[in-house]
Amino acid sequence: MKILVAILPILLIFSCNKETVRKGGFEVHGIDVSRYQSDIDWKKVADQEITFAFVKASEGETISDNFFCKNWKEMKEAGIRRGAYHFFRPTTSVLTQIQNFMDNVILEKGDLPPVLDIEVTDGVATEDIVKRVKTWLDIIEAEYQIRPIIYTNLKFYNNHLADDLSDYPVWIARYNDYFEPLLINDKDWIFWQYGNKGRLEGINGDVDFNVFKGTLKDLDALTYTPQSFSAL
């Protein structure tokens, strides 16, 4: 028993630091990035069967990702289906956060729906988080005419969002080699971020790996079409 206790931390460290291997059994693969990946060669990325990518656009009331405009342009030029996300801060003005995202992101035909990244409470009660998140989602849906996606980790979704926001498509972070995420409300996820130490040519350092639950045709059906409402 003492030996097991001694080696357990070593095994955990190894597990947390091992390279993420591309997951089999899925047709459509993607990544998500932010300024932490710095300059990306998107053409090289696309050549490695990466079909979609989400990129950070904004955070809170005033933060814009330094690499968003460059990524947004070059993703499209490389033929990658692109999506933009906003990192939500529960304690700050929802309307100002909405404006921050809208000031950065203009959707074009074929783009993926806007994503709200909500994974911290910042000390705010669940009931208030849900209200504020719902306000962001409702206004963004009205403005862009497409239903947004919620991104969060499995624990946060089950503890804070599942009861009241089950109508929205979900992109779940759960790092697991064997089992798909299981949501407590029996809802299906549409995107799964399954690891954060992926490696690709064209990106220096680690990158998050994701899969889409469906075919390429299914993915395209989710994308933005100007002046039309697309319900997921």
Of residues 27, 41, 61, 119, which has the active-site annotation? Answer: 119
Asked about 117 being catalytic, the answer comes back as no
Of residues 32, 111, 117, 141, which has the active-site annotation? Answer: 32
Asked about 206 being catalytic, the answer comes back as no
Longest C-alpha distance within the chain, in Å?
65
Distances (CA, A) of 228 to 52, 109, 114, 170: 22, 11, 15, 22
Query: Residue-wise over 188-197: b if at least 16 C-beta within 10 A, else e?
Result: ebbbbbbbeb
Backbone angles phi, psi at 215, to 5 degrees: -95, 170
Q: Which residues partner with 207 through β-bridges?
A: 198
Reduced to 3 states, what is the DSSP secondary structure of residue 56?
Answer: strand
The residues carrying an active-site annotation are 32, 119
